Amino acid sequence: MVVESELTKEVKQTRIVVLTDLLNHPGWKILQDELSADIAITEAKLFGETALGKDETVDGLRRERIDRIELRDLPQNLIEEYAGDEPEEPYKDD
């Protein structure tokens, strides 16, 4: 895993472009739709609208829901992270 502070401005800009292309790709849109559908099913179980499966637990479903939301939103979250303000240089009193 790359630490964000190690990335140059140019690398961050390149990653933003590539991730934006990914967000617009038809294959990613299919994955988003599938993940959103899975999230909706999990939420229905958590909210008591659908019965839990034999081996399912509320804690397990909560973790599953969070994991799927994080995966679905990862490209956009990374874009926002890379687009954030550059850290300011510390003041140097020469």
Q: Where are the domains of the chain?
A: 9-83
pTM of the model: 0.78
Classify residue 92 by its DSSP letter. -
- Per residue in 29-86, pLDDT (tens digit) is 999 999 999 999 999 999 999 999 999 999 999 999 999 999 999 999 999 999 986 5
Q: Residue 93: is its pLDDT beyond 80?
A: no
Q: What does residue 38 show for φ and ψ, rounded to 5 degrees?
A: -65, -40
| Contact in structure between 72 and 35 (CB atoms under 8 Å) | yes
- Per residue in 1-27, pLDDT (tens digit) is 566 568 899 999 999 999 999 999 999
The closest of 46, 89, 52, 88 to 68, measured between CA atoms, is: 46
